[in-house]
Amino acid sequence: ICMQIALVLLILGFFFAPIASSANGDDRTCSSVGYTILTLNGIFTDEEGAKSNKRELERILGRDHNNEPIKVDYLHNPSHLGGLGDLLKVVYQGLFDSETVEDYDLLEMLKDASEKVKTQKLLLVAHSQGNFYANSMYDVITGGLDSLPVSLISQSAAPQSISVYSVATPSGRVAGGGKWLTSNTDKVIAGIVGRGLKRPIMPPNTHIELQEGDPPLGHKFSEVYLRYRGAEIVSGVKDSLN
């Protein structure tokens, strides 16, 4: 995985040199022991919020699986134009949901991932809009990006070395056929995206009974999904690691 991400950045660096130049000539090796989990946040989440989500997942997940260490980190999906840019991007990503959507943020996440991933096994745990980026990242790393040269695709990562676990996903797919968890009480995904916009999404597959004082939209990663479905998420994550 480490080398595949670096190769992607190397190729894209010919077109986006200021972004990907740090990957040029970078000789990375991946450990065959251990797992890396990277969280990807949704819109309107600052970096401290992204770190907090990562820490909460790390806290309930534990430090090892199958007697191998787990490293949990995060890739930040930043807000733009006070959130307006995020809303416009979500609309665009939704329209091209079945395709790989390249943009500056995806390239920055790939660059960040190239520095953080040190194992051959990688799981992307995405929330909300972060799922669009997780799907596109999976496509790129496994060679699903048609615009990449054949020489790079031939060195792409095997699908069994990377997986996606989706939480509250506005997408109609989980790249690689991964698992997902969406509540039918999530007013953003099941409500606005699924019923309001009538966009095809992965169908809600759990029911979270919100309590007084909970975030009213029932959409937050830590405050809703990890709080009420933490055990189910841990089970799904570990199944994905397997």
Place of tokens 């990375």: 28
Q: Whole-prediction pTM value?
A: 0.85
Reported as a single tens digit per residue, the pLDDT across 199-238 is 899 999 999 999 999 999 999 999 999 999 999 999 999 9
pLDDT for residue 25: 43
Sheet of 68-75, strands arranged across: 64-65, 68-75, 35-40, 122-127, 162-167, 180-181
Neighbours of 12 (CB within 10 A): 23
Reported as a single tens digit per residue, the pLDDT across 13-32 is 544 444 444 444 444 578 98
Reported as a single tens digit per residue, the pLDDT across 73-90 is 999 998 775 556 666 667
| Closest residue by Cα to residue 37 from 89, 75, 92 | 75
Interatomic CA distance for residues 149 and 155, integer angstroms: 10
